[in-house]
Amino acid sequence: MSIVSCAATAAVPAAAPRFAGLRRVAGPAALNRDVEQPSAVTLQVSGRSNSRASRRCVATMAGTGRFVVGGNWKCNGNTASIQKLVQDLNAGEITADVEVICAPPMIYLPRVQSTLDRKYQLSAQNCWVGEGGAFTGEVAAEMLADNNIPWVILGHSERRALLGESDEFIGQKVAYAISKGLSVMACIGETLEERERGDTLNVCRRQLQAIVNCISPADWAKVVIAYEPVWAIGTGKVATPVEAQETHAGIRKYMAEAVSPAVASAVRIQYGGSVNAGNCEELARCEDIDGFLVGGASLDGAAFVTICNSARFNN
């Protein structure tokens, strides 16, 4: 069986580079300019817009990527409800500012692929850690690629908690999926207990480090990080914009230290956890939130379209 092997423990460099407060400005030229800034600070309070800053920021570094929204349908739906959802999605107008990816249950992927408008891309919700073979019930990354499914969600907290997927296993899955040409929404996030004992960023860093150990800096172009606090998933309890922004900025800072400032700026970080049509706007205004991974509300076509279009508030 072919599985990508990973460095066991690649520690964060002690003398990590200082990170320029990168702005969401288009184009590689802007990116290079920011990376080269000599007077970089570790965290930079936004000075872009006073009204927006007060609403959205604790400290900002800001990604440069296009807003990206994923809809994780999980293990929900049947032929009739999925047909209706596809109709509602097809009827929705989606702003050009956003990339949208729908993740139906595996068995409905071909049906959705043949009926869903091309303004939406498709994702699987999981794939196997290595090459296909005697792995009952699994689907291999090369099978997804063979069926023109470009994305896969890996490391979702439900799989971590219910199926015992470890950080290392997820790191290997991410590497193998990328090696087969897939793009990955890689989920990380802390439990309530971990947040309450002040470990939110430690957990995110540990989960990300397992991926960093397995993929090259260039591979991060194929990864979207989905920060999903476990206590907010499916609970109706959403992180406040301040909480979400603070963690996203911490994740970006970690990426600058563990990979590079350029990757930290380019990598897109989605927020996931009870995002809905009512709360998406204020979250989208957060400078380090580059999109959403949406569970429950992605089953409602109109609500999901509203969430996708909240990309307009993120610039």
Give the active site residues: 156, 228
Task: Give me the count of residues in the chain.
Answer: 315
- Point out which residues bind ligand PEP (CB under 6 A): 72, 228, 233-234, 272-275, 293-297
CA 286 – CA 62 distance, rounded (Å): 9
- Give the shortest CB-236-to-ligand PEP separation in angstroms: 8
How far is residue 61's CA from residue 109's CA, in Å, rounded to a whole number?
37
Q: Which is nearer to ligand PEP, 28 or 234 (CB)?
A: 234
Span between the terminal Cα atoms of the chain, in Å: 45
Query: At a CB cut-off of 8 Å and minimum separation 6, what does 79 contact?
Result: 108, 111
Residue 80 to residue 4: CA distance in whole angstroms = 39
Query: Which residues does residue 183 pair with via DSSP β-bridges, in sequence order?
Result: 151
Please report the beta strands in 172-236, taking only residues with DSSP state E, as ranges in sequence order. 183-188, 223-227
The amino acid at residue 197 is R
Nearest residue (CB) to ligand PEP, 179 versus 191: 191
**CB 211 to ligand PEP: min, Å:** 17
Three-state DSSP state, 67: strand
Strand intervals (E) in the chain:
67-72, 98-103, 120-124, 151-154, 183-188, 223-227, 268-272, 291-294
Provide the minimum distance between the beta carbon of 24 and ligand PEP in the complex, in angstroms, as a whole number: 23
Query: Which residue number, 168 or 300, has a Cβ lying nearer to ligand PEP?
Result: 300
CA angle 250–156–63, rounded 5-degree value:
35
Amino acid (one-letter) located at 209:
Q
User: Which CB, 31 or 112, lies closer to ligand PEP?
Assistant: 112
Q: How far is the CB of 171 from ligand PEP (least distance, A)?
A: 19
- Cβ closest to ligand PEP, residue 265 vs residue 310: 310
CB atoms within 10 A of CB 147: 13
Q: Name the minimum Å distance from CB 230 to ligand PEP.
A: 9
Residue nearest to ligand PEP (CB): 295
